[in-house]
Amino acid sequence: MIKKVVQDAINEQIVKELYSSNLYLSMAAYYRLINLNGFANWMRVQVQEEMFHAMKFFDYLLERGGEAKIGVINAPPTKWKSPLDVFIAAKKHEESVTESINKLATLAMKENDYATNILLQWFISEQVEEEATVTEIVERLKLAGDSKSSLFMLDSELKTRIFVPPVVAGTQA
């Protein structure tokens, strides 16, 4: 049985992951509106990743005999100044998710919840990858500057991204 304090923190994280999914969906809509369909595709794949994360936490709570309580999910923004601003916002968001996961890991260690700590190690590694990927795209957009051809080349590249459910603890979700 999972401790209530850890259960409550995981429920808060589920809401954050669901918000992340909605945020990336909103970003995908923005990119579609400005005809950058590769960028929109990249964001739609990110929607699936964030939903995967939320469900991983959800399933974990239930496996531990906990109660999943989905709280209020705030509406994400819908407008940005530029394609670069979207990815800067995504980078800041991923950094805040990393902070949240780290706080959850600290709580699990404090509560001697070794099972939750093991689960969170995967999420910690995942956040390193998430931040690195978003940072790379931010830097590439900065390099592109006002070059439309560079923007369209990056758009074509991002169109190839597909969702592959990650392997967690030796199994696929």
pLDDT of residue 67: 97
pLDDT at 172 over 60: no
47: three-class secondary structure by DSSP = helix
Q: Could you give the maximum distance between any two Cα atoms of the chain, in Å? A: 56
The predicted-structure confidence for 50-72, as pLDDT tens digits, reads as follows 999 999 999 999 999 999 999 99
> SS3 helix, strand, coil % of the chain, rounded to 5?
75, 0, 25
pLDDT of residue 139: 98
Torsion 160-163-169-171 (CA) sign: negative
Mean pLDDT for the chain? 95
The residue among 122, 90, 91 whose CA lies nearest residue 105 is 122
The predicted-structure confidence for 11-57, as pLDDT tens digits, reads as follows 999 999 999 999 999 999 999 999 999 999 999 999 999 999 999 99
Structure tokens at 156: 């074509």
Q: pLDDT band for position 171 (50/70/90)?
A: very low
Structure tokens at 165: 């459910």
The predicted-structure confidence for 94-137, as pLDDT tens digits, reads as follows 999 999 999 999 999 999 999 999 999 999 999 999 999 999 99
Q: pLDDT band for position 168 (50/70/90)?
A: low
d(C-alpha 28, C-alpha 45), whole Å: 9
Tell me the pTM. Answer: 0.93
Q: What are the structural domains of the chain?
A: 4-163 (1.20.1260.10)
On whether the CB atoms of residues 12 and 71 are closer than 8 A, the answer is yes
What kind and span of H or E run contains 82? none
